[in-house]
Amino acid sequence: MFQNFRLAMAWVHTWFGLVLGFVLMVVFFFGSLSVFDREIDRWAIPESRFEPQPMPSFDRILKPVFESMQPSPESVAAMRPRVDGPMPEHFDTPVRWGAYTTHRDPVLGVFAGYQVPNAKDPEELVWGNRTIDPRTGESLPDDHLKIGSQFFYPLHYSLNFHWKDLGYWIVGLAALIMLVALVSGVVMHRKLFRELFTFRPGKSSQRRILDLHNLTGVVALPFHFMFAFTGLVIFAGMYFPVTHTQLEPLHDLHEIIEAEETGLPHERAGVAAPIASVDAMVAEAQRRWASKDMAGDVGFLAVQHVGDANSYVSGYRAGTDRIALTGEGIHFNGSTGEVIREDPVPSAVENIGEFLTGLHLQHFRHWLLRWLYVLGGLAGCVCIATGFLFFVKKRKRQHAQKGVSGARTVEALAVTTVTGMLIATLGILIANRLLPANLPARGDWEQYCFWAVWALAMAHAFWRSGPVSAVRTAPAWIEQCRAVAVLAVSAVALNWITTGDHLWRTLSAGYWPVAGVDLALLGSAVLALWAARQLKRRDRRAARAADESAAGEVVHA
Amino acid sequence: MTSATVFRRQIVSRTAAALLGGYVFAWGFIALGVAGMFAVGMSFHDAEHLFSMLALLLYLGVFLWSFAAREMRQVWLVLVGGGALMTALASLIQHALV
Amino acid sequence: MPDNLMLLMALLSNVVGMGWLALAMEVHWKQVRGRTPRGNSTVLGLRALGALALTVSLVLCLKVDHPSMAALVWVMALAGAALVIAFTLAWRAQWLAILLARRPARARV
């Protein structure tokens, strides 16, 4: 069907890239923002603007918090159909308590899972969550949307579209297509190294766009490939649930063997037993890590079979100093405080897996590498966006002559996914600063604003992409660039007005999470204005050239 | 049939082979890999991780092959036939172990 | 040397190395030196210098961080350095004359 291999690859690259490119743009952009998700959280929740805290004392702070917790009403409601008989008013048997923090978190997220009497599947639990101030144990309102870690980050891997997990599957398909596009792109390009540094802004606009597409694709090729691939690896168990469907029996067999090996009890003993000092266990875990030359803090702390003689406490190390997501877990008997087990040295496969997932999930403390990741992610965005533009440029004249609207539609969609996405992002930040503090379900409203603003930007893009048919740049580009600049500056101003944290104050206090977000916003504003000016200038030049050639034709006629 | 319809049919067939055929093939590969390696003594999680990673790269490879191959019948046969065969073998091994 | 300084040196070393590698290519040599001919030894020399600078950068990265992290920092910094050189060649090619120990000539646009 295709005359040769290269033509086949070109077809795959063009059409799959076009269709999934819109999803990939969202994935790359919000992935880049997720590098600084905790910092965006601080910007969005002014109450949490204080220094990151280590894991607090379990005995003094966490235990009373856990004991006062109950499952959330949503979790109980979701469980109701899977229970024979009525739900209890109060859940008395916590199965699991957990607390998780990173070196960038001032507030601490804790969760608790409870046994449900008469559940059809006795293993299924109901869950409660809370966010606390680790210095005092005081609860913070949990309906504040953590825009970075609870909105942008899940948007990056699930599009926040949870119906039948469809969002995850679309993103997975997009990641596969990213890999396909990279391989087919390399086949098409051929001059990978010879044109490594080639960008010729003086050449025709088609050439210029293709240069930029190749440049951003090739220099960050390892990044693009590794992130698409490791993203798939992280969710591989979801995309290929082989061991939870076809090989479920084999999986169960292995679990029994594993439980015997680890000595960690799978079931409750049914005998009540109080919990020993967890702080002492944490100290012991830290001593053991230090003796392995891996001194560090606890990042994740969990208690299993709470209040039972079979209870055990697991401490995992916060992985701030290496890429691999290795927890070096140490497990203690909950009532005696004795060490039951130290996780063994990981196998070669585990080492590879932990490195690959760690490289993507980035729990490490390394600001330079974080910024380099943002650079890689944005290079990916430029690569995808220039892909759209090349598609449009190549076909615009032809489509305009034939009266087909294909190129125009693609350009409007490109505007929606490039500048429109920026506008939506700024929209949620502005909504976050403008909505009244005591508005019920405030976080939901912030999300509605995001989607509504994006829809508006899309409508505008379709409305103002008319002149594409006349082989000119769509005015939507210029107008939306200006909108980005105005909104970005407004967000910074609103942060100042509503919290008093203006740049001068955050910078002189060295409070980088908020100063960084503000600076990034101002930087985007400058960039957007510059882009608008360049586009305007180009457009005027093109219009003049078109007029001249039209005049020339009249003379010749 | 016009060449445009032939082309369209080819594209649909190749896309389906790449996506669905590739999925079946990758599934079979993971299943056989996990069951087979577990049977010869590799740890379950290692086998699971290793073959998921390899399967994703394999998926990428067969996806591209579906568009590059000359003969579509061969592609369908290898992907769906091979995938089903590996899946069946995995179940047989599991049956012997559990 | 403090870690931040070493990382900064690693970034710079990568940029310089990429610059030399670019100058070893004929197109980019012409952008900077015009028609000034260059011998085979110059090409080889530039390549060797480029490779050396990239290696120095890797060593610096390894001195600061755990090897797994250092490798990532280095690879990502390579991408950044290549972008810097590509954009410099596009708009201010003359600046790369510094890497040949020459004063940048007036830009010829």
pLDDT score of A192? 84
Strand, coil or helix: what is A140? strand
Q: Does C108 touch chain A (CB under 8 A)?
A: no
CA–CA distances in Å: residue A548 to residues A346, A397, A398, A551, C45: 71, 18, 21, 5, 51
Same-domain pairing of A200 and A74? no
Which residues face A111 on adjacent strands? A98, A129
Q: In whole angstroms, give the CA distance from residue A299 to residue A175.
A: 30
pLDDT of residue C105 exceeding 80, the answer is no
- Model confidence pLDDT, tens digit, residues C65-101: 989 899 999 999 999 999 999 999 999 999 999 998 8
For A406-415, write each residue's pLDDT tens digit: 888 888 999 9
Q: Give the H/E segment covering residue A540.
A: helix A512-556
CB A171 within 8 A of CB A23: yes
pLDDT, position B48: 95
Q: What is the pLDDT of residue A144?
A: 85
Question: Does the residue A481 lie in any domain?
Answer: no
How many angstroms separate the CA atoms of A445 and A435, rounded?
A: 8
Return the domain boundaries, chain C: 3-100
Identify the pLDDT of residue A471. 61
Q: Domain check: are A250 and A343 in the same one?
A: yes
Q: A206-215, A227-236, A402-411: which has the minimum mean pLDDT?
A: A402-411
Residues A57 and A127 occupy one common structural domain: yes
- A216 located within any domain: yes
For residue A99, what are the β-bridge partners?
A: A110, A301
% of chain A with per-residue pLDDT over 70: 98
Tell me, yes or no, whether A377 lies in a domain: yes
Q: The domain containing residue A25 runs over which residues?
A: 1-45+144-240+366-404
Average pLDDT estimate for B3-27: 93
Nearest to A5 by CA among B72, B19, B11, B66: B66
- 3-state SS, residue A258: helix
Residue B1's pLDDT band (cuts 50, 70, 90): low
Q: How far apart, in whole angstroms, are the C-alpha atoms of residue C86 and residue A212? A: 10
Total number of residues shown for chain B: 98
pLDDT score recorded for residue A202: 84
A166 and A26 in one domain?
A: yes
| Closest-CA residue of chain C to A294 | C66
Q: Averaged over B56-68, what is the pLDDT?
A: 96
Taking contacts as CB-CB distances below 8 angstroms, the residues of chain B near A246 are: 31, 87, 90-91, 94
Is there a single domain that holds both residue A148 and residue A39? yes
State the pLDDT confidence band at A191, using cuts at 50, 70 and 90. Answer: confident
Which of A528, A499, A530 lies closest to A437, judged by CA?
A499
Please name the residues between 33 and 92 in chain C that touch chain A, using a CB distance below 8 Å.
65-66, 68-69, 72-73, 75-80, 82-83, 85-87, 89-91
**Is residue C109 very low, low, confident or very high in pLDDT (cuts 50, 70, 90)?**
very low
Using a CB–CB cut-off of 8 Å, the residues of B that contact A are 7, 10, 14, 19, 26-27, 30-31, 34-35, 38, 43-46, 48-50, 52-53, 55-57, 59-60, 63-64, 67-68, 87, 90-91, 94, 97-98
Q: What is the pLDDT of residue A552?
A: 66
Asked if residue A263 is part of any domain, the answer here is: yes
Distance of CA A179 to the CA centre of its chain: 19
The per-residue pLDDT for B3 is: 80
Helix (H, G, I), strand (E, B), or coil: what is residue A167?
A: helix
Give the span between the Cα atoms of A119 and A125, in whole angstroms.
Answer: 9
Q: Region A188-204: what's the mean pLDDT?
A: 87
- The full DSSP string for C85-103 is HHHHHHH-GGGGGGGGTSP
- pLDDT tens-digit profile of A298-328? 999 999 999 999 999 999 998 888 888 778 8
* Euclidean distance between CA atoms B37 and A525, whole angstroms: 55
User: pLDDT of A497-507, one tens digit each?
Assistant: 999 999 999 99
Alpha-carbon gap, residue A206 to A188, rounded angstroms: 16
State how far the alpha carbon of B83 is from the alpha carbons of A238, A245, A340, A553, B15, in Å: 19, 16, 43, 63, 17
Top pLDDT among A29 and A440 is at: A29
Residue A198's SS3 state is: coil
Assess whether A135 and A207 both reside in one domain: no
Total of domains in chain A: 2
| A128 — pLDDT class (breaks 50, 70, 90) | very high
Chain A interface with B: residues with Cβ < 8 Å: 1-2, 5, 8-9, 11-12, 173, 176, 179-180, 183-184, 229, 232-233, 236-237, 240, 242-243, 246-247, 249-251, 253-254, 258, 347, 349-350, 352-353, 356
Q: Are residues A185 and A112 in the same domain?
A: no
Instruction: Enumerate the β-bridge partners of residue A112.
Output: A97, A128
Residue A170 has pLDDT above 70, yes or no: yes
What pLDDT, on the 0 to 100 scale, is given for residue B59?
Answer: 98
Residues of A75-105 as b/e, b for ≥16 C-beta within 10 angstroms?
Answer: bbeebeeebeeebeeebebbbbbbbbbbbbb
**Which residue, of A375, A404, A433, is where some domain finishes?**
A404
Distance between A23 CA and the closest CA of chain B, angstroms: 17
Among candidate residues A240, A238, A234, the one with its CA nearest the CA of residue A359: A234
CB contact under 8 A, A372 and C77: yes
Please answer whether residues C100 and C37 qualify as being in contact, where contact means their C-beta atoms are separated by less than 8 angstroms.
no
> Residue A529: inside a domain, yes or no?
no
Find, among A319, A297, A298, the residue nearest to A363 by Cα. A319
SS3 per-residue string spanning A274-295: CCCCHHHHHHHHHHHHHHCCCC
- Say what the pLDDT of residue A172 is: 97
* Selection from A525, A503, A505, A526 nearest residue A516 by Cα: A503
Among all residues of chain B, which has the CA nearest to that of A252? Answer: B98
Find, among A138, A149, A104, the residue nearest to A299 by Cα.
Answer: A104
Average pLDDT of span C22-34:
91
Higher pLDDT, A474 or A91: A91
Instruction: For the beta carbon of residue A185, count every other beta carbon within 10 angstroms.
Output: 23
Q: Name which of B72, C68, B64 is nearest A346 in CA terms.
A: C68
The single-letter code of the amino acid at A129 is N
Please give the pLDDT value at position A289. Answer: 93
CB C28 within 8 A of CB C50: no
Place of tokens 């240069």: A211
pLDDT range class, residue A392, cuts 50, 70, 90 = confident
